[in-house]
A = this chain, B = another copy of it.
Amino acid sequence: MTTFREVRLKSRPEGVPVADNFEVASVDLPPPGPGEVQVRNHYMSVDPYMRGRMYDRPSYVPPFQIGEALQGGAVGEVITSNDPGFQVGDTVQSMFGWREAFNAPASTIQKLDTHGLPIQAFLGVAGMPGMTAYAGLLRVAALKEGDVVFVSAAAGAVGSVVCQIAKIKGHTVIGSAGGAEKVAFLKEIGVDHVIDYKATPDLKAALREAAPKGIDVYFENVGGEHLEAAIDSARPFARFALCGMISQYNETGEPKGPSNIIMAVGKSLKLEGFIVSNHYDMLPAFLKDMSDWIGSGKLKWKETVDEGVESAPGAFIKLFKGENMGKMLVKLS
């Protein structure tokens, strides 16, 4: 029996999550049962979509339960195996994040071939966020030659990959992010026009200036004024991949919808929401492209890493304050 810590949902957040919505608990892990393995997590992921699971309502993933450990992507190493398919030392990924270690049936975890990348890349650029960027831009928004691309939360784990894929494919890219450090990162990765939305009194005007002929693709991560500005600047037949709307996740009143949605009619706009789990048929193509792009130095990424499972709630809360640069991670061991 070994003792590990995990983070549980103590209460459902109202508005922006606070530390007191979470609690750290110690768990005695018995040896894994037959067909099970015991895994020590090295890194866990915090992602904006997890906020949705903190509401008690039906959605595409079930809500987190009060008093239970949270879930999310994690990468780690098998420390005890009671299944012939896994050996001690195997690198694995799972959805058993928010805990230092866990026992689980072998069928619920996956061996990870890192192709020489650091393992935590599989929680970011080479994992779910990267795949979200890839599927959203190439399939949902159906990127095509000549498109001008606008990306919100452009310095985030998803947005920064969207920007770079679009640049690799030769497009003009406009990215929005908040603060000088993120602006500098976006310029470094080749974004053509960077809008610091925190320093911009009129986002619509800023986008019009950055894209005087309009935009053809909008990769939506933020919602609110960003969505309105994108509709305003959209060229006819523009496609919007609606990936998330982080500005609205903690809204306690009625969120503000895009007041200019009527423009979608006259401009024949297509606004399409998506969740990455419906696009995993693209995984082989994604891994091949990513491997090429990373290997040739065309695709870079940033990480913000906090340490210790007890820091996970704080790391999660940072997402909504825009305090992360690139992928927000928690290093567990």
Contact = CB atoms under 8 A, between A and B. Distances in A.
A236 interface: yes
A102 B110 CA distance: 75
A59 interface: yes
A145 interface: no
A175 interface: no
A52 interface: yes
Q: Copies of this chain, how many?
A: 2
A149 interface: no
Interface residues of A, number: 36
Given A248-B262, A259-B255, A271 B268 contact: no
B272 A261 contact: no
Most chain B Cβ neighbours within 10 Å, of A244, A266, A274, A278? A266
Contacts of A265: 242-245, 273-275
Nearest to A258: B257
B271 A264 contact: yes
Interface in A253-287: 254-275, 278
Contacts of A261: 223, 227, 245, 255, 257-258, 261
A245 B272 contact: no
Nearest to A52: B266
Most chain B Cβ neighbours within 10 Å, of A52, A266, A273? A273
Nearest to A249: B262
Contacts of A228: 257
Given A254-B259, A259-B255, A261-B257, A60 B271 contact: no
Contacts of A249: 262
A195 B264 CA distance: 26
Contacts of A273: 263-270
Nearest to A247: B262
A259 B259 contact: no
16 contacts: A60-B267, A243-B265, A245-B261, A245-B265, A248-B262, A255-B260, A255-B262, A257-B257, A257-B261, A258-B258, A264-B271, A267-B273, A268-B272, A268-B275, A270-B270, A270-B272
Given A257-B257, A264-B271, A265-B275, 11 more contacts: A60-B267, A223-B261, A227-B261, A243-B265, A255-B260, A255-B261, A258-B258, A264-B272, A264-B273, A268-B274, A270-B272
Interface of A: 52, 59-60, 223, 227-228, 236, 242-245, 248-249, 254-275, 278
